[in-house]
């Protein structure tokens, strides 16, 4: 299937300063794509360019094959978005807010509005003014307005910002459901790595307006790539265990860290490795994937620029 | 486009301030009503024909005296003398001799057009800037309708609001006036130009008052709307427009005493009523056609600026 969102060599200059440099990536239907970077990295600027709020200096952004610059109306039809905060009309009710945005999109009927109010669990307060809503409720109403016209691409800027853990969990569950059940492409931005890991299939790391890397979590969870696994056999037996593993698996990269073995191995080979270590007479107190490394890589990526 | 106007209308009338403004306008009409009722002479207090004619003659005498004595404000006295003589000759009783009617009541209420103008300016100034203030402008613009359409729907809404308020003022004045004062005998308005006196039925005079008043506030609303689109600041748009509204005409007519060029200024032309009443335009060479062309040019400039700025602006919301 072709990509819903294509960002091609996008640059953004403001007063001679490059805010975004040579940014390219694409988002496929049915995936949740993360946009990770520290504050000020250019996430919001990029999102503004995607929805036509800010002109692109050079390059292009295609949504469902249409250029946001040249065929704005056709491109934006496929987009539902929240940029920055979910700002709704405080003096209108939740329902009136949705009616308002529905009128702007053409074919949206009352049934769809009710359906969405129920989806985001705001059906019982639809006659209440948005002024009285909590941030979490506003965020949910924001998602409802973005979904009204059944877009193919949902763009959410920091959707969990300011939410409590319960609210974050709800948003995460919605997004995953939308992507999996309705084949929606979802782009979310965040400055928190942990959130990206929980929510996204893939995510791009950007720093100072440049793409640093794209992480594919489906691959890292699945087969193929060796991942770091930490195995705790007790501090006394660490050296001996390392010897034994090295003899049996001469090709693997093995390190010692925090009094544990760190072995880079494909996921499907982990059970065999553990069985082997145990049969060699070692007790295993703990064995886990070393998620820390990703965080470290993110921090490295983001601090490298700052220190140089 | 109709849906967009519907949206703006909905947002406007869900605001409490809109209702407060409507209520103040109605209160104004009721205030004028109470004032007129308490000051209305009863039927037997009204002067008879002989009485009012005698009154006018006495006034003519006094005015002649004043003219001879000082020569100051000669224009004013000459006009009043000419008008009073015309009334006596043609049996046209002045307002004070006919008593209040729905027509005179509506004519008094035309003064409330000033209040209405300020309300329309406020609506025009806030309809764009409030979207920027709350950040909702972003959700408004990431939709298929183009920016020009959105801007135009907002402008149309302002005009619709102005028309609605005008209809309300007109309607309320008519209904209350008819109820309390009856239709009576319409008095006649006199126009004095270059020594000639003409008469005009009050109903026509009323229509001219309201129509020219509307032109005035439509221009100001357009100005406020453009400022709001350009600066996106409610406070600035309201302050500048209301300030211009209050002092603009005064400053312009002062300048017009000494120069010719003020005739190209907006405020020399917004009051089209000047071509229909005794005062005449601030600069002599001006005509109704000239004013209409100047107004159209200003309107095009305001709208052009608003569209141009709104189209090219990067939409960023701070805070």
Q: What are the two backbone dihedrals, phi and then psi, of residue B143, each rounded to the nearest 5 degrees?
A: -135, 165
Q: Does A300 have pLDDT greater than 70?
A: no
Q: What six digits make up the tokens of B29? A: 């009409």
Q: Which residue of B has its CA nearest to A92?
A: B14
What are all long-range contacts of B193-198, with beta carbons under 8 Å and residues at least 24 apart? B193/B278, B193/B280, B195/B78, B195/B82, B197/B82, B197/B83, B197/B85, B197/B86
A13 touches chain B (CB under 8 A): no
Per-residue H/E/C for chain A:
CCCCEEEEEEEEEECCEEEEEEEEEEECCCCEEEEECCCCCCHHHHHHHHCCCCCCCEEEEEECCEECCCCHHHHHCCEEEECCCCCCCCCCEHHHHHHHHHHHCCCCCHHHHHHHHHHCCCHHHCCCEHHHCCHHHHHHHHHHHHHCCCCCEEEEECCCCCCCHHHHHHHHHHHHHHHHHHCCEEEEEECCHHHHHHHCCEEEEEECCEEEEEEEHHHHHCCCCCEEEEEECCHHHHHHHHHHHHHHCCCCEEEEECCEEEEEECHHHHHHHHHHHHHCCCCCCEEEECCHHHHHHHHHHHHHHHHC
User: Which class in CATH covers the domain with range A224-293?
Assistant: alpha beta
Predicted confidence (pLDDT) per residue in A130-142, tens digit: 999 988 888 889 9
Q: Which of B144, B145, B316 to mutate to test the interface with A (most CBs of A within 10 A)?
A: B144
Q: Of B313 and B28, which is predicted with more confidence?
A: B28
Residue ranges covered by each domain of chain A: 5-220, 224-293
Is residue B67 predicted with pLDDT exceeding 50? yes
CB contacts under 8 A, A 141-160 vs B, are 145
Contact (Cβ atoms closer than 8 angstroms) between residue B267 and residue B249: yes
For residue B1, the chain A residue with the least C-alpha distance is A104
Domain boundaries, chain B: 2-40+101-312, 41-99
Cβ atoms < 10 Å from Cβ of B69: 8
d(CA A148, CA A68): 20
Q: How confident is the model at residue A296 (pLDDT cuts 50, 70, 90)?
A: low
pLDDT digits (tens, 9 = 90+) for B170-212: 899 989 888 888 777 666 777 776 667 777 777 788 888 888 8
Q: Does B5 touch chain A (CB under 8 A)?
A: no
**Best-predicted range by mean pLDDT (A6-20, B39-53, B279-293):** A6-20
CB B108 within 8 A of CB B209: no
Spell out the residues 6+ positions from residue B303 whose beta carbon is closer than 8 angstroms to its own: B155, B222, B226
Average pLDDT of the segment spanning A10-35: 89
pLDDT digits (tens, 9 = 90+) for B204-255: 888 888 888 888 888 888 998 998 888 888 888 888 888 888 888 788 888 8
CATH 3.40.50.2300 fits A5-220, yes or no: no
pLDDT tier at A110, thresholds 50, 70, 90: confident
Q: Do A100 and B134 touch (CB under 8 A)?
A: no
- Which of A271-275, A303-307, B91-95, B205-209 bottoms out in mean pLDDT, i.e. has the lowest? A303-307
The label of the residue with tokens 């929980």 reads: A198
Residue whose C-alpha is closest to residue B28's, from B142, B128, B130, B109: B109
- The complex's ipTM? 0.77
A200-218 average pLDDT score? 84
Mean pLDDT of B133-139: 88
The DSSP bridge pattern shows strands A210-216 and A286-289 to be unpaired
Range ranked top by mean pLDDT from A195-199, B110-114, B231-235, B303-307: B303-307
For chain B, helix, strand, coil in percent to 5 are: 75, 5, 20
Measured distance CA(A185)–CA(A189) in Å, rounded = 13
Provide the pLDDT confidence category of residue A301 given band limits of 50, 70 and 90: low
Give the gap in angstroms from C-alpha A6 to the nearest C-alpha of chain B.
18
Contact A53 B317 (CB under 8 A): no
The residue-averaged pLDDT of B24-44 equals: 82
Would you call A103 and B143 a contact, using CB atoms and an 8 Å cutoff? Answer: no
Q: How far apart are CA B25 and CA A92, in angstroms?
A: 24
pLDDT at A119: 83
- Judging contacts by C-beta atoms under 8 Å, the chain B residues touching residue A91 are 11, 14-16
Helix (H) or strand (E) run with residue B168 in it: helix B147-181
Per-residue pLDDT tens digits for A167-200: 888 888 888 888 888 889 999 998 888 888 888 8
Furthest C-alpha separation in chain B: 74
**Which of B5, B142, B157, B314 would best serve as a mutation to test chain A binding (most A beta carbons within 10 A)?**
B142
H/E stretch holding B307 reads helix B288-312
Q: Is B319 on the interface with A (CB under 8 A)?
A: no
**Interface subset of B 140-179, CB within 8 angstroms of A:** 140-146
Angle between helices B16-39 and B147-181 (to 10 degrees): 20
Contacts of residue A151, Cβ cutoff 8 Å, sequence gap at least 6 = A77, A78, A79, A80, A184
- Residue B91's region, left for phi above 0, alpha for psi from -120 to 50, else beta, is left
- Alpha carbons B16 and B38: distance in angstroms, whole number: 33
Percent of chain B residues past pLDDT 70, beyond the cut: 91
Q: What is the DSSP letter of B40?
A: P
Residue A109 has pLDDT above 90, yes or no: no
Question: What is the least distance, in Å, from the CA of B147 to any CA of chain A?
Answer: 11
Give the separation between CA B87 and CA B1, rounded to whole angstroms.
54
Angle in degrees, CA B169, B175, B180, rounded to 5 = 120
Query: Could you say which of A76, A84, A91 has the minimum Cβ distance to residue B14?
Result: A91
With cut-offs at 50, 70 and 90, classify the pLDDT of residue B318. very low
pLDDT score of A306: 43
In the predicted model, is pLDDT for residue A1 greater than 80?
Answer: no
pLDDT tens digit sequence for A213-261:
887 877 655 456 677 888 888 888 888 888 888 888 888 888 887 788 8
- Contact of B89 with chain A, judged by CB distance below 8 Å, is answered with no
What angle, 0 to 180 degrees and rounded to 10, lies between the N-to-C axes of helices B147-181 and B102-109? Answer: 140
Residue B20 is encoded by which pair of tokens? Answer: 């407060």
* % pLDDT > 70, chain A: 92
Please give the Cα distance from B73 to A138 (Å, whole number): 67
Q: Considering only alpha carbons, which residue of chain A is nearest residue B141?
A: A53
Q: Are B225 and B125 in contact (CB under 8 A)?
A: yes
Residue with token string 């004032």: B35
B chain contacts of residue A103, beta-carbon cutoff 8 Å: 3-4, 6-7
Q: Is the pLDDT of residue B273 over 50?
A: yes
C-beta separation of B125 from B56 below 8 A: no
- Which residues in chain A are contacts of B6 at CB distance < 8 A? 103
Q: Which helix (H) or strand (E) holds B24?
A: helix B16-39
Answer whether A89 sits within 8 Å of B134, measured CB to CB.
Answer: yes
Contact A302, A294 (CB under 8 A): no
As a whole number of angstroms, the distance between CA A158 and CA A144 comes to 16
DSSP type of residue B98: H
pLDDT at A307 over 70: no
CB-nearest partner of A101 from B16, B139, B316: B139
Degrees to nearest 5, angle at CA B207 with B81 and B164? 140
Q: Which residue of A has its CA nearest to B134?
A: A87
Across the interface, do B14 and A52 touch by the CB < 8 Å criterion?
A: no
């Amino acid at each position: 299937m072709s990509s819903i969102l294509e960002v091609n060599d996008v640059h953004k200059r403001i007063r001679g300063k490059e805010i975004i440099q040579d940014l390219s990536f694409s988002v496929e239907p049915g995936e949740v794509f993360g946009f990770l970077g520290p504050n000020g990295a250019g996430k919001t600027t990029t999102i503004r360019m995607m929805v036509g709020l800010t002109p692109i200096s050079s390059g292009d952004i295609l949504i469902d094959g249409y250029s946001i610059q040249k065929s704005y109306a056709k491109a934006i039809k496929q987009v539902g978005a929240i940029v920055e905060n979910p700002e709704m009309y405080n003096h209108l009710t939740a329902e009136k807010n949705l009616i308002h945005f529905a009128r702007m999109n053409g074919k949206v009927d009352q049934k769809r509005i009710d359906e969405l109010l129920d989806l985001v669990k705001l059906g019982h307060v639809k006659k209440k003014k948005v002024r009285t809503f909590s941030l979490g409720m506003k965020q949910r109403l924001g998602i409802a307005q973005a979904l009204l016209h059944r877009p193919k691409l949902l763009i959410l800027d920091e959707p969990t910002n300011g939410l409590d853990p319960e609210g974050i969990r709800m948003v995460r569950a919605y997004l995953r459901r939308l992507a999996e059940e309705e084949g929606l492409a979802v782009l979310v931005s965040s400055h928190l790595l942990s959130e990206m890991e929980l929510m996204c299939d893939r995510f791009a790391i950007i720093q100072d307006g440049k793409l640093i890397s794209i992480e594919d979590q489906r691959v890292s969870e699945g087969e193929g790539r060796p991942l770091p696994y930490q195995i705790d056999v007790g501090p006394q037996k660490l050296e001996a265990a390392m010897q034994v593993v090295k003899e049996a698996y001469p090709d693997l990269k093995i390190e010692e860290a925090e009094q544990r073995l760190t072995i880079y191995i494909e996921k499907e080979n982990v059970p065999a490795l553990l069985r082997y270590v145990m049969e060699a007479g070692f007790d295993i107190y703990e064995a886990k994937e070393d998620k820390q490394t990703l965080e470290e890589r993110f921090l490295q990526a983001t601090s490298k620029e700052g220190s140089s | 486009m109709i849906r967009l106007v519907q949206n703006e209308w909905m947002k406007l009338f869900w605001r409490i301030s809109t209702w407060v403004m409507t209520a103040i306008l109605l209160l104004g009409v009721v205030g004028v009503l109470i004032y007129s009722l308490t000051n209305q002479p009863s039927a037997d207090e009204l002067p008879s024909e002989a009485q009012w004619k005698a009154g006018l003659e006495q006034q003519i005498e006094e005015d002649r005296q004043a003219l001879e004595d000082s020569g100051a404000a000669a224009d004013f006295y000459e006009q009043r003398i000419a008008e009073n003589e015309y009334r006596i000759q043609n049996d046209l009783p002045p307002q004070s001799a006919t008593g209040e009617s729905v027509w005179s009541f509506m004519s008094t209420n035309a003064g409330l057009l000033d209040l209405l103008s300020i309300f329309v300016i406020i609506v025009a100034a806030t309809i764009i800037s409030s979207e920027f203030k709350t950040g909702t402008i972003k959700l408004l613009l990431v939709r298929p309708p183009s920016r020009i359409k959105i801007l135009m729907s907002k402008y149309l809404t302002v005009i619709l609001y102005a028309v609605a308020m005008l209809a309300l003022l007109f309607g309320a004045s008519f209904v209350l006036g008819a109820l309390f004062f009856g239709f009576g005998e319409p008095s006649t308005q006199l126009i004095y130009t270059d020594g000639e006196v003409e008469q005009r039925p009050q109903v026509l005079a009323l229509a001219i008052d309201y129509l020219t008043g509307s032109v005035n506030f439509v221009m100001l609303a357009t100005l406020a709307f453009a400022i709001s689109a350009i600066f996106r600041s409610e406070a600035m748009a309201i302050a500048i427009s209301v300030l211009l509204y209050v002092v603009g005409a005064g400053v312009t007519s002062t300048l017009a005493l000494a120069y010719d060029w003020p005739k190209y200024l907006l405020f020399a032309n917004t009051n089209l009523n000047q071509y229909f009443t005794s005062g005449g335009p601030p600069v002599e060479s001006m005509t109704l056609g000239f004013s209409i062309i100047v107004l159209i040019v200003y309107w095009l400039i305001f709208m052009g600026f608003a569209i141009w700025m709104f189209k090219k602006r990067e939409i960023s919301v701070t805070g």
